Amino acid sequence: MDNRELWTALDMDLEKHDDFLAPIPTVFTSLFLDRPNRPKGMGYFDTVVGDVHGIRVHELYAKKQAGGKVFSTFCVYVPEEIIVATGSASIGLCAGAQYTVPSGEKVLPRNLCPLIKSTMGFKLDRICPYFQVSDWVIGETTCDGKKKAWEILNKYIPTYVMELPQKKETKDVSLWEEEVREFASFIERETKVKLTAENLAQGIETINNKRLALQRLADLRKHTPAPIHGLDVLLINQLSFFDDPVRFAAQVNALCDELDQRVKEGIGAAPADAPRILVTGTPQPLPAWKLHALIEQAGAVVVGEETCTGERYYKDITERADNVGDMLTNIAKRPLKVNCACFTPNQGRFEDIVHMAENLKADAVIDFSLQFCQPYGVESYFVGKEMEKKHIPYLRLESDFSEEDQGQLLTRIEALLEMIRV
Ligand code: SF4
Ligand code: SF4
């Protein structure tokens, strides 16, 4: 089966899909492939993007043909270990393309975060093969926009919603643990696979290994000169939600071996005196590359992301246990260490930002919110205050997935870099 046969089998709108994909090779070449000093290990990730709607979708389709299931998720709180334990696939589907925003706006208010509109648009337009190959969407009650969007999305694809508490008190932890257990039962019912100590331990191990590989990569960025561009790491983080977890972890580790060598030899992706930037805020799902591209185009290097397409996804791993009950408890515990702005209060996030800025020797923090994102937009107040207190240069930016404001954003980033350089 070639790609077009596959897309037809998945009931995709081929004409629209061609239109959507047409500019991507040119954009990808200029942003990624044409850049100097890229590690060779990026070759694998470039290939994955080069055939982003091909190889991996064929694998998922084959899994379904063999009786397996595909679950799509939209938040780092959804426990993919449980899905993977049953031999099913877990795919992170948050979308970051302006192309599908107008379609999303047909059923959602215009003044809603572009991530939600873009995601909805991909389903309505039938141009995302990952959506089309999915049996279920797993939503969560994080922000209000997502929570209500699931009700609409459920009209187009079966949508299961996990209730995430908004605080982290003892009773909230119990509620979340209960929610994780119910989710485990749901996955068992849907996949007709019973969770056992063996398969769940394997699921935990697989996802832990993926997170450990990403931690290793993140840690290498603390070196001066930075051995890899932030834009390349963002791409890897974005692909971590799509790719086969075992193969992905092996490729990230192979890249890290190469970066270890670069560090030893003092080879950097950017000059040693390039300003080092930590990005915090809302996630930047595939293919939202604008912010990192602009920062690095201005001559800086992004050395870390306190976001869900960064540190929040991989900073903690699930502790091992020897029976299913304790494993589910540990699976529930891990994401509650993630400090998303959907929680109140969220003091841990400010501590995370400061810790990362110090560890990565960041010269400045850029706090980025997607337009109309209330949790991160409002929380910026405290991020700014904390940066002021710690005397860390700070810039707050708000944008969407369009290209219209690139000039404006670049001017503000350049002003920040000038300030750092003096
Ligand atoms: S920002 Fe919050 S709601 Fe969004 S993916 Fe991350 S944890 Fe989930
Ligand atoms: S970016 Fe903000 S508004 Fe958008 S889905 Fe995430 S938390 Fe919700």
Give the CATH number for residue 207.
Answer: 3.40.50.11900
Establish if 322 belongs to a structural domain. no
Residue 318: band (very low, low, confident or very high) from pLDDT cuts 50, 70, 90:
very high
Q: Find the domain containing 81 and state its range.
A: 3-195
- Identify the CA nearest to 101 among candidates 78, 77, 127: 127
The pLDDT value recorded for residue 72 is: 97
Judge if 190 and 247 occupy the same domain: no
Q: Average pLDDT for residues 120-144, to the nearest whole number?
A: 97
317 in helix, strand or coil? Answer: coil
pLDDT tens for residues 85-95? 999 999 999 78
Task: Label residue 1 by pLDDT band (50, 70, 90).
Answer: confident
Q: What does pTM read for this prediction?
A: 0.97
pLDDT of residue 422: 79
Ligand 2, residue 114: give the atom nearest the CA. 4
CA of 282 to the centre of ligand 2 (A): 7
My answer on whether 238 and 190 are in the same domain is no
Can you tell me the mean pLDDT for 292-310?
98
Say if residue 274 is in the same domain as residue 380: yes
Mean pLDDT over 270-279 rounds to 97
My answer on whether 349 and 269 are in the same domain is: yes
Same domain, residue pair 140 and 166: yes
Residue in 176, 279, 308, 313 to alter for ligand 1 test, most ligand atoms within 8 A of Cβ? 308
Q: Examine residue 155 and state whether it is found in any structural domain, yes or no.
A: yes
Residues 125-132 have a mean pLDDT of 97
Query: How confident is the prediction for the chain on average, in pLDDT?
Result: 97
3-state secondary structure of 402: coil
Sequence-ordered alpha helix ranges (H) in 311-373: 311-314, 324-333, 347-359
Question: To the nearest whole percent, how much of the chain has pLDDT over 90?
Answer: 98
Whether 100 and 148 map to the same domain: the answer is yes
- The b-or-e profile of 340-376 (16+ CB within 10 A means b, else e) is bbbbeebeebbebbbebbeebebbbbbbbbbbbbebb
CATH of the domain at 149: 3.40.50.11890
The total number of structural domains that make up the chain: 2
Give the Å distances, CA to CA, from 265 to 41, 121, 268, 301: 17, 46, 9, 19
Can you tell me the distance from the alpha carbon of 366 to that of 415, in angstroms, rounded to the nearest whole number?
Answer: 12
In a domain, 326, yes or no: no
**Ligand with minimal distance to 142 CA:** 1
270 sits in the region (left: phi over 0; alpha: psi -120 to 50; else beta) called beta
And the tokens for 130?
A: 């990952």
Domain-embedded: residue 324: no
Same domain for 95 and 187, yes or no, is yes
Which of 72, 75, 118, 141, when mutated, tests ligand 1's pocket best, judged by the most ligand atoms within 8 Å of its CB? 75
Question: Which of 146, 176, 195 lies at the terminal end of a domain, its last residue?
Answer: 195
Residue 341: pLDDT above 90? yes
pLDDT (average), residues 218-223: 98
Q: Tell whether 146 and 258 lie within a shared domain.
A: no
Rounded mean pLDDT of 198-213?
A: 98
pLDDT of residue 381: 98
pLDDT, mean of residues 219-233: 98
Query: Residue 298: pLDDT band by 50, 70, 90 thresholds?
Result: very high
CA of 75 to the centre of ligand 1 (A): 5
Taking the centre of ligand 2 as the mean of its atom positions, its distance from the CA of residue 226, in whole angstroms, is 30
The answer to whether residues 285 and 404 belong to one domain is yes
Q: State residue 57's pLDDT score.
A: 97
Average pLDDT over residues 69-90: 97
Q: Is the pLDDT of residue 223 over 90?
A: yes
pLDDT at 296: 98
Number of H helices, E strands in the chain: 20, 8
Mean per-residue pLDDT for 265-273? Answer: 96
Kindly give the number of the ligand 1 atom that is closest to the alpha carbon of 335. Answer: 7
Is 330 a domain residue? no
Pocket test for ligand 2, best of 119, 147, 370 (most atoms within 8 A of CB): 370
Residue 345 pLDDT class (50, 70, 90 cuts)? very high
Q: Which amino acid is at 84?
A: V
The total number of residues shown for the chain amounts to 422
Indicate which ligand has the atom closest to the C-alpha of 76. 1
Percent of the chain's residues with pLDDT above 70: 100
362, 244: one domain: yes
Interval 168-183 mean pLDDT:
97
Strand segments, DSSP code E, in 59-141 are 70-73, 89-92, 136-140
